[in-house]
Chain A
């Protein structure tokens, strides 16, 4: 017994030694083998193929991968804690990345800022409109897409398609970006028919499949026959709508494959175009800018192709509005506008263009929305 025990211990010691020896190894970093290429890093907070927010960014990354002289590394499911800092640093120190896309909104403060300070030669481009001149380092940039234009168009189509005049919006949290989408959708729908009512349900967090299914079913039970959403992965809502035989307008990415009958159209990000532009800039030695925003007209957002249920009238109106957006003439948020408690939020005669910072602080729901932001 004695000898077999120490033989076992010897094996264990040997195994441990082998492990410790391999600590100093590490495979050849891709950067060492092809130092001319630009290494770009993408970090996602969720899975890359979630049919939603992260997939939209991953599609952008896929487009970047096809560019000559560019290499891409990706990490998914990185939480918004010190771990993302380490992920970014790992890409920089271990893989030689010179351009990083930390794609989740919550990565910016403090994580991106901390790492950006440490590596002033690396460019960090973040999705969200947070960069402020003078406050944030120069090697960080914010980009932002006015996807509420897409939700407005969703609303227009929904307005033509609904028979019950009740629409449903499943949202994560009542933050300004979400409220902007809810309001844009409602304004779009009510521009077609002022009697339409949109009920909004907040699930509490960005990815809660059971709560989203619950919300979708509840809204449908209450009579909603077109749904849309602002959650990280619209997959559950889209599938639920299809199963219950109602219509759905998509968001983030194209979910039409999941709802061949019920999918009307969708508001999508157009990151492939945008990211290729950014990478071209960086490759050419120029900074892409610190604060880049765009809507439909700049190619930052696009709409999914129409589904089978969209009527000809709907398409006509859609194209008309879209043309105005493309020409830069369309204002979604203009006065007189009241919130759903009756208070005036935009005075008569005031037009808030997309770039107006007032919109970044939106904290109300417009008339026609059933629900509250929870805080008041």
Chain B
């Protein structure tokens, strides 16, 4: 039983990191009043950029930085396109997703075979005697970064000037303009920041877990992360819990099988989606989602 729980904990830590980064990034973007569905493309592009940069430079950390830059770049394109009149941010998001995936797969063809330097892990479980506990506590730098970023963002949104500006752009664009801030500029920067975090989340996949570049690396994780943000009511700390729950749900099937329960393994693969759906249904209400930035509408 302990080993099963440890498998879930280990899975939660391992699988949650990309969700965490992408959802935190999307929280910033959505707080400013814009939705970025292109995160799936950004996630994969970040994975590719990170892997490529790590391979070419020999350092995984340079890879992570490159992933962030790549993500910010795609975020900038997204933000710029959305800023033009008459465009729907959902349409732009889907376009960025298609383009991001296409360009990633294209540029990534020569990188499918090679191995790139990986991100190191931190062995927090050195004291443990059970290998399962030890493995569960072997965490990655990015996960720690994400753990710290969630409360930081929450504090930043509440108490810093930049956080307030972002929120104003998302709640009441008129007031923001009246106060002298360019709403477009704020949203563009917020989208770029979201893209950068999304890219870094992608680099986790290719530089740590599973630690390779392949074309099946993401199967909707970017889009799921957008769901997570809504599910977390745009609160960074809730994004953290949601990502962990998601990660645990994602490893449920495999954890069960490793202790011998194989029935219905297909169904377990949908556990994260099912869980999210159930919780969203149980917690939503017809009066709308509290916490939703008022300027965040579907069509731009």
B112 touches A47 (CB 8 A): yes
- Set of chain B residues within 8 Å of A212, measured between Cβ atoms: 210
With a 10 A CB-CB cut-off, give which of B217, B253, B254, B269 has the most chain A CB atoms.
Answer: B254
- Whether, in the assembled complex, A204 has its beta carbon less than 8 Å from a beta carbon of chain B, the answer is yes
Task: Kindly list 7 other residue pairs between chains A and B, CB separation below 8 angstroms, not including A51-B113, A210-B219, A221-B136.
Answer: A201-B262, A213-B209, A221-B135, A222-B3, A233-B214, A243-B211, A370-B260
Give the chain A neighbours of B250 by CB distance below 8 A. Answer: 210, 214
Which chain A residues lie closer than 8 Å to B263 at the CB level? 372, 374
A360 within 8 Å of B by Cβ? no
Bound CA span A213–B7, Å? 13
Is B216 in contact with A209, judged by CB distance below 8 angstroms? yes
Beta-carbon contacts under 8 Å, B135-171 to A = 135-136
Chain A residues whose C-beta falls within 8 Å of the C-beta of B6 in the assembled complex: 221
- CB neighbours (8 Å) of B261 from chain A are 372
Number of A interface residues at 8 Å Cβ cutoff, please give it: 43
Bound-state Cα–Cα, A223 to B132, Å: 8
User: Which residues of A lie under 8 Å from residue B211 when comparing CB positions?
Assistant: 213, 236, 239-240, 243
Q: Taking the complex as formed, is B259 at the interface, i.e. its CB lies under 8 A from any CB of chain A?
A: yes
Does A146 lie at the interface of the complex (its beta carbon under 8 Å from any beta carbon of B)? no
Question: Does A371 lie within 8 Å of B214, measured CB to CB?
Answer: no
**Is A235 at the interface (CB under 8 A from chain B)?**
yes
Does B23 lie at the interface of the complex (its beta carbon under 8 Å from any beta carbon of A)?
A: no
| A219 close to B (CB within 8 Å) | yes
**Interface-forming stretch among B9-17, B68-76, B281-289?**
B9-17
The answer to whether A47 and B109 touch (CB under 8 A), given A221-B7, A223-B131, A258-B115, is yes
B251 at the A/B interface (Cβ < 8 Å)?
yes
Pair A49/B112 contact, Cβ less than 8 Å: yes
Q: What is the bound-complex CA distance between A211 and B221, given in angstroms?
A: 13
Whether A214 pairs with B112 at a CB distance below 8 angstroms is no
Tell me, in angstroms, the Cα distance from A214 to B219 when the chains sit together.
15
Minimum Cβ distance to chain B for residue A213 (Å): 3
| Interface pair B132/A221, CB less than 8 Å apart | yes
Assess the B109–A209 pair: CB atoms within 8 A: no
The verdict on B96 contacting chain A, using a C-beta distance below 8 Å, is no
Q: In the complex where A49-B112, A208-B219 touch, is A215 in contact with B210 (Cβ < 8 A)?
A: no
- Cβ–Cβ contact A236 & B210, under 8 A: yes
Contact string, B30-48, partner A, CB cutoff 8 A, digits 1/0?
A: 0000000000000000000
Which residues 207-234 in A have Cβ within 8 Å of B in the complex?
207-215, 217-223, 233
Q: Report yes or no: B217 in contact with A209, Cβ–Cβ below 8 A.
A: yes
Query: In the complex the two chains form, is A214's CB within 8 Å of B254's CB?
Result: yes
Set of chain A residues within 8 Å of B254, measured between Cβ atoms: 201, 203, 211, 214-215, 218
| Known contacts A47-B109, A208-B219, A243-B211, A217 near B266 by CB under 8 Å | no
**B262 x A209 contact (CB < 8 A):** no
B118 within 8 A of A: yes
Decide if B215 is an interface residue (CB 8 Å cutoff).
yes
Complex: how many Å from CA A200 to CA B253? 12
Asked whether, in the complex, the Cβ of A207 is within 8 Å of the Cβ of B216, the reply is: yes
Tally B residues with Cβ within 8 Å of A. 42
A218 B255 Cβ-Cβ under 8 A = yes
By beta carbon, the residue of chain A nearest B3 is: A222
Name the residue of chain A whose CB is nearest to the CB of B214: A209
Can you list 9 A-B contacts (CB < 8 A)? A50-B112, A199-B257, A199-B258, A209-B214, A218-B251, A218-B255, A221-B136, A372-B261, A374-B265
Interface status of B242 (Cβ within 8 A of chain A): no
Tell me which residues across on chain A come within 8 A of B266, comparing CB atoms.
204
B264 within 8 A of A: yes
**CB proximity of A72 to chain B, nearest CB, Å:** 19
Instruction: Produce 1/0 per residue, B175-218, CB < 8 A to A.
Output: 00000000000000000000000000000010001111011110
A211 to B256, CA, bound (A): 13
Considering only residues 215-271 of chain B, those with a C-beta below 8 Å from chain A are 215-217, 219, 250-251, 253-255, 257-266, 269
Cα–Cα distance between A9 and B299 once the two chains are bound (Å): 29
> Is residue A124 within 8 Å, beta carbon to beta carbon, of the partner chain?
no
Asked if B265 contacts A204 (CB within 8 A), the reply is yes
* Residue A42 is within 8 A (CB to CB) of chain B in the complex: no
Instruction: Please tell me if A202 contacts chain B, counting CB pairs below 8 Å.
Output: yes
Q: Mark out the residues of chain B between 95 and 132 whose CB falls within 8 Å of any chain A CB in the assembled complex.
A: 109, 112-113, 115, 118, 131-132
Q: A70 CB to closest chain B CB, in angstroms? A: 25
Given the interface pairs A201-B254, A209-B212, the reply to whether A221 lies near B3 with Cβ below 8 Å is yes
Docked Cα-Cα span, A77 to B109, in Å, equals 12
Residue of B15, B253, B264 with most chain A CB atoms under a 10 A cut-off: B253
User: A162 on the interface (CB 8 Å rule)?
Assistant: no
Chain B residues whose C-beta falls within 8 Å of the C-beta of A211 in the assembled complex:
253-254, 269
Q: A47-B112, A47-B215 are in contact. Are A215 and B10 (CB under 8 A)?
A: no
If A204-B266, A374-B263, A374-B264 touch, does A222 touch B132 (CB 8 Å cutoff)?
yes
Residue A139 is within 8 A (CB to CB) of chain B in the complex: no
Check B258 against A209 for contact (C-beta < 8 Å): no
Taking a contact as CB atoms under 8 Å apart, the answer to whether B265 and A202 are in contact is yes
Q: Chain B: which residue is nearest A215 at the CB level? A: B254
- Contact A202 to B135, CB < 8 A, known contacts A210-B217, A214-B14: no
Residue in chain B with minimal CB distance to A223: B131
- In the complex where A214-B15, A214-B251, A239-B115 touch, is A222 in contact with B265 (Cβ < 8 A)? no
User: Which residues of the partner chain B approach A213 to less than 8 Å between Cβ atoms?
Assistant: 14, 209-211
How far, in whole Å, are A265 and B300 apart by their CA atoms in the complex?
56
Please tell me which one of the listed residues B10, B113, B209, B269 contacts residue A221 in the complex, with CB atoms under 8 A apart: B10
The 4 closest A-B pairs by CB, nearest first: A213-B210, A218-B258, A201-B257, A372-B262
Q: Which residue of A lies closest to B267 (CB)?
A: A204
When distances are taken between beta carbons in the complex, the residues of chain A under 8 Å from B251 are: 214, 218
CA distance A204 to B136 in the complex (A): 24
Among B209, B210, B251, the most chain A Cβ lie within 10 Å of the Cβ of: B210
* Closest beta carbon of chain A to B44's beta carbon, Å: 12
Please report the C-alpha to C-alpha distance between residue A51 and residue B259 in the assembled complex, in whole angstroms.
29
